[in-house]
Structure 1
């Protein structure tokens, strides 16, 4: 078996699943009491029904520490009158300075190292879980594709990429399914495929696919495996591993975060930002830091979508540079409308941004009024 070399940490023997039923019961009660805050949706898979749970973003922030389960991306199943978790993402985590728990002062006082720093890839989150000991299922955050290799859905494209990755490692779907099933683990990956859907940062053809950045036990409380082990899982099954480094102190994290925020790069490569994994109150805890260049580029995308929807309205943006981008695309929509023909289908986003950056680098920002 290709997975026989993956040794889980000793602490895995203490993982508890017994409380999961009660947690999901509380989630059901919350749905009944406050249906505007969350919803669920059933998916029929073979002889089982998986339930996907979607929670409004604001609910996570408002109920930190009190909501039944903080998992962002959650699939459950009821067997023998008891709920169990069959796939789960990370607990919802926030940007530095976004909540009271992610202020630098709070992080200094309340978190413990070591601090694992992973690159934040720029794609769509994908979950890989076991449907049985022979079969895997690949989902998006809240949906399961039908059929499972549906080329129009994130999960379906993710499944197609998974088959390619497994083949490259001379592993089979059954190898992976057996390992996930026996350990009750969900793999968390980023689907980065510009041919299917562009985001902000470019992934050339030889760098596309699934980037594995996490492996979580299917438990109500978040238990996520160390990055070094996640890296080993990725290489075993042929997925792209994400870069990571380990730091001892929050001061070191803050120094690295400042560099990534300013340059938009880690290890010389453009990234969306970084994710920091550590401990808080003896539990796994994550927070993130976004890069400034990425956020500026994201402003461009949102400005473009706004202008395409309503050309006469001034778009909203955060960064001053986006004003010049707005003026520039007003002209480009007139002399190069073909650049934007598939923009709302997530195609052309990177090309238009790169063209503007080339214009910006020339330094002549004078444009006639529209």
Structure 2
């Protein structure tokens, strides 16, 4: 937190020993330490090694630069130096005012002179100073007093005074904790429609302005209530902009500059009042209330620290971890379910969690500025209640991205689009059939639109103008594209959603060519490739003649193609181990321009009719919270030995979820290929970021390169685990 502690005392008075004994080294800037960074000990005329004092201008310039960097983040900091003169302490005053720091001085000036001289002799030779220097500083401290704007502390008082303790707020009849407002005055007034009650406490968690449409009204309201005894205002990350504005400084926020600032200027708000408002903003509110302990911050923390003094203000404001950290889950995990220890915060909620976000953690970020809710938690002797006030005054963002009207497109137009698209390649396969597939550049550089996402397993007879076989439109992994990131999914998934297990083979389709009245077997943009032929061979091995006639008739009459996952453990092993060759029917897709498929009941019925395995429905989720908690758990579970899942929402939107076990061994397959080629020197340290990575890599390097080259990752994994089990 914003606390600066200055050590004061003559050389040898025990300042550095005090810091060490109290485990405060990591918070300390030492003048002597910086002197040693700039110049190593020098040999004096007395024949002793000593720390040079000749670089002091550089030393103090550098120390103050480091201190200001820490102050920008609100970090607790100790400066270990003599600080004998008032002027040496006063040099910190401007920084302390700018960054709202409390300054304390731990005073060692009463250590007797004889003890100072004795302790000086006990120091390492290079740290010893001339006795005359000690005498001078000792005498100076008798006449130089510590400035009154600092707090004087004796060493034995430190642990008592520098402990941040909760205050008891049980005398208040009710406590209102109000979340991020973001300039949404009307929603705030809807909650406060009965006015502020004198026997109730109101705690605001920060982010009062920006993004909303009523910033001036919110700021005027806060200025009016800032001095009320029943008001506590926390500092959020957006308050930095009103600080700059009130001091006539430029801000780097385009939102503030282009939207908020014009509103404030037009309202002619007194900037002096705003400066006073900013000085009243708290870093946190830490209190007890009827037997429970509460900590309220803007950004959210992951656990209750032993002493808040040592936690940087930046972490209280911006939160512990990254913006996409599920801080509510972290709190639940790290507080061991202590029901009497409760966190309330705002700022971030990309997972769209409810107000009661986790066990004993309440999230007050409700997207109010986007038409969401102003969130409030109220505390009374009887318990905790949550409130959501819908905001109806907000700016609607419009998506202006152009798209192609596929529903009204003719096949001639569609083929023309495909053939002239820069990120689609046509491959003519003979017999008037072409496959269309997105380019490597589209894949690598993520260049996607409404047309080239269709060029995936798409086969067209350019003479008859028929789709002879097709698979899915290209769909993506979670977090692979902007619209598959968790925040976007939280907003856009249409519930209920269905989750299917993803088997780990390769994709193949069975379609129909009306020109030849034949089934078409396709894979990887080919009809005569090794993979397509493997599919064809397995297809005829799996089904008897009558079943094949039934399948052909069905594909022809229903105008569909069958999408299979092809599992070939010997010919084409992947990451997940299977014992037998098999086809798994994934979907029945219409051979049309717009992606459309049979529903799961039809798939299930047809698969049973032809006697083939089909994709397994694993879960159905009716709401985002249940889905997110499941997602959070399985994406951190290394024990699930599967590739992952395919999620399909009720509007047909699809995403893939890859699991940690699969991702790890897929990565190690690439590592094994480099080892086999004797290119392990190209493997970066960042690629080996767990003990298992390094253990498997070290094991690989002990093996014959030819064995590594010829073995697939499944065989290598089994051999690795077998050897580890036998050690």
TM-score after normalising by structure 2: 0.41
Q: Which residue of 1 aligns with 2:671?
A: 303
Deviation string, structure 1 residues 246-280 (Cα, Å, up to 9, x no partner)? 322233333333343233577xxx32000011245
Q: What secondary structure is seen at the aligned counterpart in 2 of 1:202?
A: coil
Q: Is the 8 A contact 2:437 2:452 kept in 1?
A: no
Deviation at 1:341, TM superposition (A): 5.1
Aligned to 1:54, the other structure's residue is in SS state: strand
1:115 is aligned to 497
Query: What is the match of residue 155 of structure 1?
Result: 532
Counterpart in 2 of 1:20?
411
Cα offset for 1:79?
3.4
Aligned counterparts, 1:143-292, within 5 A: 143-145=526-528, 153-167=530-544, 171-205=546-580, 208-244=581-617, 245-263=619-637, 270-280=641-651, 284-292=652-660
Deviation at 1:217, TM superposition (A): 1.0
Q: Summarize the Cα distance change of 1:237–1:194 in structure 2 as closer, same or farther, 3 Å threshold.
A: same
2:459 maps to what in 1? 75
The equivalent residue for 1:42 is: 428
In structure 1, distance between residues paired with 2:484 and 2:576: 26
Residue range with higher mean Cα deviation, 298-307 or 216-225: 216-225
Q: Secondary structure at the match of 2:598?
A: coil
Question: In structure 2, what is the Cα distance between the partners aligned to 1:279 and 1:318?
Answer: 39
**Residues 676 and 709 in structure 2, CA contact (< 8 A), matched pair in contact too:** no
| Distance apart, 1:203 and its partner CA | 0.6
Per-residue deviation, residues 21-79 of structure 1 (Å, max 9, x unmatched): 3222111122xxx3xx33211122xxx41101121255267444443553421111123
TM-score (norm 1): 0.77
Matched-pair contact (CA < 8 Å) for 2:419–2:425 = no
| Counterpart among 84, 89, 92 of residue 471 in structure 2 | 89
1:325 matches 2:709: no
Distance 1:227 1:85, change over 3 A: same
List runs of 5+ in structure 1 lacking aligned partners.
Answer: 1-14, 147-152, 365-370
In 1, Cα distance between equivalents of 2:452 and 2:565? 26
Does the 8 Å contact 1:136/1:173 carry over to 2? no
- Counterpart of 1:106 in structure 2 is 488
**Displacement after TM superposition at 1:353 (Å):** 0.8
Alpha-carbon offset, residue 193 of structure 1: 0.9
Structure scoring higher RCO (CA < 8 A, sep ≥ 6) equals 1
Once the two structures are TM-superposed, the CA of residue 318 in structure 1 deviates from its matched residue by 6.0
Q: Could you say what secondary structure the match of 1:254 adopts?
A: helix
Q: Residues of 1 paired with 2:603 and 2:566: CA distance?
A: 16
Q: Secondary structure at the match of 2:483?
A: helix
Moved more, 271-280 or 243-252: 243-252
> Residues of 1 paired with 2:706 and 2:449: CA distance?
49
Give distance in 1, aligned partners of 2:602 and 2:408: 22
Counterpart CA distance in 1 for 2:688 and 2:588 is 34
Distance 1:327 1:265 in 2: 23
Q: How many residues align?
A: 316
Task: Provide the C-alpha distance between the structure 2 equivalents of 1:155 and 1:97, rounded to a whole number of angstroms.
Answer: 31
Q: In 2, are the aligned partners of 1:296 and 1:319 still within 8 Å (CA)? A: no
Q: Could you say which structure has the larger radius of gyration?
A: 2
Other structure's SS at 1:225 match: coil
Q: Deviations over 1:104-125 (max 9, x none)?
A: 2211222213312111111111
Alignment pair present for 1:350 and 2:714: yes
Instruction: Report the Cα offset of residue 229 of structure 1.
Output: 2.5
Structure 2 unaligned spans of 5+: 1-405
State the shift of 1:232 in Å. 2.4
Q: Higher mean Cα deviation, 128-137 or 154-163?
A: 128-137
Alpha-carbon distance between aligned partners in 1 of 2:593 and 2:698, rounded to the nearest angstrom: 49
Distance 2:523 2:701 in 1: 35
Distance 1:124 1:107, change over 3 A: same
Structure 1 or 2: more strand by fraction: 1
* Structure 1 vs Structure 2 CA RMSD: 2.7
Decide whether aligned partners of structure 1 residues 59 and 314 sit closer, same or farther in structure 2, where only a CA change above 3 A counts: closer
1:293–1:191: structure 2 CA closer, same or farther, 3 Å change rule? same
Aligned-pair CA distance for 1:312: 5.0
